[in-house]
Structure 1
């Protein structure tokens, strides 16, 4: 009987913790990493941070750092911009919708010549956040990704991103900033 009561209490506590991860005032930080070595090499890192301005709905910013090499052509790119993300439900696996828009700058080197170009990128898609603990999720997102550079035709297609998020409750952020909670 004690084991059943303890198991029920642990399950209820973990559900309450999972439910409270996307409340208004909570923060999330994380990002995704992409490595592609099929025919060429591409390495991409996209850290992000956001705040839940209402329950399950976050607004934030991300930075995109990208390096690619195809033959003798090397490209480095930097992007920065906002994102919106909405979580459905309060389960351990939550469907999510995600969109972001970035301003881009890239530098391409080919045969000793270097060119710089500016443009934009947007992504719109969905997927799931799989909560692997009270304050962490593994995110899998698929959707349409489109880049458009000045003086060049835009390119777009399906993209799959796998990322990781850490969730910080409002009171944790207040402690990090040196603020006392209202109840103290």
Structure 2
């Protein structure tokens, strides 16, 4: 079970923290940001993974942004089928236009079915991701983010996820 979670979380982390914010430097009154990420994966045994993570935020100051992020993922293979929904608030603090600190609280609803053993379970889990990283400017209002987040609520013996550490690469437009 946990062996399939590691690649899923790596794909999930890259897309959940990928952000596209709408806004232009000429419109300082527009403090709303919108965006999200999409993940797609294929593997052995007819494995298929699809994930989407929409988000909406509000710039409280030029350097502080808060909002809500959601996620939905669907996975299937010859041996299992799983759906996972998540929702929660996030907060990002940007400093020196090259670094960021972030917090993201997600509550997940997981539905899993093992096709081989005909085993099913439904579970809920909460994750509090804290972390940060480096931002590289790639355009006028565009940045690439490279960082790492850690789920401070993760427990090895009771979590559906195989690790609390989540590397992330994402993009932000409009900061």
- TM-score normalized by the length of structure 2: 0.65
1:121 offset after TM fit, Å?
Answer: 1.7
Q: CA–CA distance in 1 between the matches of 2:139 and 2:104?
A: 26
CA RMSD of aligned residues (A): 3.2
Of the two structures, which has the highest relative contact order with CA contacts closer than 8 Å and spacing of 6 or more? 2
Q: Deviations over 1:74-121 (max 9, x none)?
A: 21100010000000123xxx1001110011111111234543222212
| Cα distance change, pair 53–146 in 1 and its aligned pair in 2 (3 A) | same
3-state DSSP class of the match of 2:138?
strand
Answer yes or no: is 1:128 the counterpart of 2:134: yes
Deviation at 1:33, TM superposition (A): 4.3
Structure of greater Rg: 1
Matches within 5 A, 1:106-117: 106-111=110-115, 112-117=118-123
Distance 1:44 1:128, change over 3 A: farther
Take 1:108 and 1:56, find their aligned partners in 2: how far apart are those partners? 39
Contact kept? 1:56, 1:87, Cα under 8 Å: yes
Q: Which runs of 5+ in 1 are unaligned?
A: 1-19, 169-184
CA contact (8 A) 1:31 1:165 kept: no
| Residue number in structure 2 paired with 1:61 | 68
Q: Which residue of 2 aligns with 1:26?
A: 31
More helix by share: 1
Q: Is the Cα–Cα contact under 8 Å of residues 25 and 53 in structure 1 kept in the other structure?
A: no
Question: Following the alignment from structure 1 to structure 2, what is the Cα–Cα distance between the partners of residues 115 and 161?
Answer: 28
Give 1:8-157 correspondences, 5 Å limit.
Answer: 26-34=31-39, 42-69=49-76, 72-90=79-97, 94-111=98-115, 112-145=118-151, 153-154=158-159, 155=161, 156-157=163-164
Q: TM-score when scaled to structure 1?
A: 0.62
